[in-house]
Amino acid sequence: MPCIKCLSADDVIVVTGGAGFIGSRIVCDLAELGFRVVISDLLWSGDKWRNIAAARLYDLVRPDNLSEWLGRHADKVAAVVHMAAISSTTETDVDRFVANNIRLTLDLWEWCAANATRFIYASSAATYGDGTAGFSDVESPAALAALRPLNAYGWSKHVVDRRVVEDVVRGRPCPPQWAGLKFFNVYGPNEAHKGDMQSVVAKVYPTIKAGDTVTLFKSHNPRYRDGGQLRDFVYVKDCLAVVRWLLQNPKVTGLFNVGTGAARSFLDLVDAVGAAAGCLPKVRFIETPAELRDKYQYFTQADITKLRAAGFDQPFHSLEEGVRDFVHCLRSAG
């Protein structure tokens, strides 16, 4: 039987992007707990469906039919976990971000507010831009206005965060529980379908395993050596733990950073993959493409003070622990 507070076995939880990377992990976890899980996603013609092949599902809905489906099942839906998004940081069609990342999220926000339904959605550390304004998940309109995302993806997530906080501050209708999760650099199982947008861990593992040379971007910032660019790499199992904890704690609302709180270098990451694979990695540095240089984050590190203060006390995997577990999963999958 489900053990998440205030939710019963008869409740329906809708997970958008439910066949994707983070979404599929949430789906499988909730289905295993016994909930009626509904996925809204596009599967296309690849192997993305394999991410959810083992899950017991209540229904699957195409995104373009979701609004109508929600209208027919409003009395059954207890929570919407919205993970669907265009996540490519190199996407140039900004209208796709508007339609998929902004409009869809705000439509769901308004629907959940009108139907007293809990709402958890994916934001991103890309909202912080180059980090000049820090990495604090303060919810004030003034603090959010100071952030300058470096790409259209980050901007699309930032637009939603600002609108949500504005609604809360002005006392407009809001879901009974809401949480915007600012995911940092997530890696782990179920990301193979992402192609070029896979994590660096997933990309370099087969190269290191084959004994070939890994390529990393050179640094074009004098404060960082080549390979010394720093990111907060967070294991997908930790992201799943935060979502489950939020569903267990319906009174917790707000914007929350989801990261380890410890920035690590890309060379650290390559070394961790090499250790997990039992190989000594070889590294070559290449020029960062000119079109990416002014959009490149050299440092990200989640300030998780607010998440901890809200009561989330589970430890995060270290980079070495997470990579070791992920590599084990990759080996097991063949």
| CA–CA dist 99, 301 (Å, integer) | 29
| CA–CA dist 130, 50 (Å, integer) | 36
Query: Is there a contact between 226 and 292 (Cβ–Cβ < 8 Å)?
Result: no
Cα maximum dimension of the chain:
58
Q: Which residue has the tokens 């599967």?
A: 43
Average pLDDT (80-84) is: 98
Q: CA angle 44-45-50, nearest 5°? A: 90
Average pLDDT (49-62) is: 97
> Higher model confidence: residue 45 or residue 77?
77
- Could you tell me the domains of the chain? 12-186+233-261+301-317 (3.40.50.720), 192-231+263-298+323-333 (3.90.25.10)
Could you read off the pLDDT of 131-160 as tens digits, one per residue? 999 999 999 999 999 999 999 999 999 999
Average pLDDT (8-34) is: 95
pLDDT of residue 90: 84
Single-letter code of the amino acid located at 237? K
What's the whole-model pTM score? 0.96
pLDDT of residue 1: 42
DSSP class of 44: T
pLDDT of residue 215: 97
> Higher model confidence: residue 1 or residue 65?
65
| CA–CA dist 332, 244 (Å, integer) | 26
Average pLDDT (301-316) is: 98
Query: Is there a contact between 262 and 232 (Cβ–Cβ < 8 Å)?
Result: yes
Average pLDDT (52-66) is: 97
Model confidence band, residue 4 (pLDDT cutoffs 50, 70, 90): low
- Kindly state the percentage of the chain with pLDDT values over 90: 92
pLDDT of residue 111: 98
Does the pLDDT at position 5 exceed 60?
A: no
Tokens of 327: 């590599």
Could you read off the pLDDT of 191-210 as tens digits, one per residue? 999 999 999 999 999 999 99
Instruction: Please give the full DSSP string across 86-116, using - where no structure is assigned.
Output: ---TT---HHHHIIIIIIHHHHHHHHHHHTT
Does the pLDDT at position 295 exceed 90?
A: no
Sorted by sequence, the CB contacts under 8 Å of residue 56 that are 6+ apart come out as 31, 37
Single-letter code of the amino acid located at 327? V
Average pLDDT (217-229) is: 97
The tally of CA atoms less than 13 A away on the side-chain side of residue 297 is 29
pLDDT of residue 172: 98
Cite the active site residues: 153, 194
Does the pLDDT at position 33 exceed 60?
A: yes
Tokens of 299: 């440092």
Average pLDDT (298-304) is: 98
Average pLDDT (56-75) is: 97
